[in-house]
Amino acid sequence: MNERRALNSPDTPRKQQAILVAGHFLRSYGYHMSRPAGDTAWLIIMTLEGRGLIRLGRSVWDCGPGEVVIVPPGLPQDYATAEGFTWTFYWCHFLPPAHWDKMLRLFDMHSQTRLFHARLNEMELSDTRLAFERVYRHQETNVYLALNGLEEVLLRVSGIGNENRQHLDSRVNQIITWLADHLNETHSLSELAQRVHLSPSRLSHLFKEQTGRSIVEMLTGMRLNQAMRLLDFTTLSISEIAAEVGFQSPFYFTSRFTEHYGMSPTEYKKQKKTPAP
C-alpha cells in the first residue's frame, strides 16, 4: 500500500481537503518521508514494532514499540526507518472538528519543540491499537466512525503518565468497541453480556465500576458525539441524523442532545453556519 497524500505534501498538489487519511505501514531501512513545509493537517504516528526516527530541527526521536509522536500543523514532517530495523507503525493525517480544540491544545503546547511524545506500556498499546484499527478500517466507509476511533486514540494518549489512570478490563473494551461500531443498532444487556461471556448483572456492575457510567449512559454519549460530527460534516436532516446514530425518535434525540450540549441540534447547526465575529 502506498501512502495517500490527499493532504498537503510537497510532491503532490492538494486536490481537496480530507477529514482524515490513515495507514498501517511496514517499512524497511531506506524508507524516508519529508515535508519541509509541514502540512495544514495534524499527524500522529504510533510505532507497533521496530524503530523509526522522527526529526524536528536538531531533535531526533528514536521511536520503538508503544511510542507515539504527534506533529501539529505547520511544522516540518521528517521521519524514516532506523538503520538495521523494519518499522511497523500506524499513521494518520487529520483535520479535527472544532470541538477537539481544547483537547488538541495539550499536544500543540506540550514542549518548546511543539512535538508531543508519549510512551505507552504494553496494555496501553494494546488498547490504543484497537482504537487505531477502527480509524484505519472505517476511513473509507464511514468517516464518522473513523473520527470516533481517532478521538479515542487521542484521549488515551493524552492520559499517558496519569498514575491514577485505570486500565479497562478487556471485556469492557470489547463492549465499547462493539457499541462504537454498531451505534445505530438496538442493543440489549443480555445480548451484550453473551458477547463477553458474563451474566447481565456482572457485566452491568463491571462496566459501571470500570468506566463510571452505565452501558446506556456510555452508548447515549457515543451517539450524541456521533450526531455532533454528522451536524459538523454533513447536510443530513435532524431526523436522518437521529436514525443514523440509533435514536428511534427525532424528538427524543433532540431532547437528549439539548440536555447534553445546552442547545438543540437545529441551534447547533445554525451556530456552525454563522461566521465568527
Distance from C-alpha of 154 to C-alpha of 173, rounded to nearest angstrom: 16
**For each of the chain's 277 residues, which pLDDT tens digit applies?**
334 333 433 333 333 344 789 999 999 999 999 988 888 899 999 999 999 999 887 678 889 999 999 988 888 889 999 999 999 999 999 998 877 877 787 676 544 456 788 888 888 888 899 999 999 999 888 888 888 899 889 988 876 544 334 456 888 878 887 888 788 899 999 999 999 999 999 999 999 888 778 999 889 988 887 887 788 767 889 999 999 899 999 999 999 999 887 889 998 888 765 443 3
Distance from C-alpha of 31 to C-alpha of 29, rounded to nearest angstrom: 6
Q: In degrees rounded to 5, what are phi and psi of residue 161?
A: 95, -5
Q: Which of 142, 168, 170 is nearest to 230 (CA)?
A: 142
Helical axes 250-261 vs 215-233, angle rounded to 10°: 90
Distance from C-alpha of 124 to C-alpha of 225, rounded to nearest angstrom: 23
Domains (ranges, CATH) in the chain?
1-121 (2.60.120.280), 168-277 (1.10.10.60)
Distance from C-alpha of 92 to C-alpha of 181, rounded to nearest angstrom: 19
- Specify the residue for cell string 500522529: 44
Is residue 86 packed enough to be buried (19+ CB in 10 Å), middle (13-18) or exposed (0-12)? middle
262: enclosing H helix or E strand: none
Question: pTM (2 decimals)?
Answer: 0.59
Distance from C-alpha of 171 to C-alpha of 132, rounded to nearest angstrom: 18
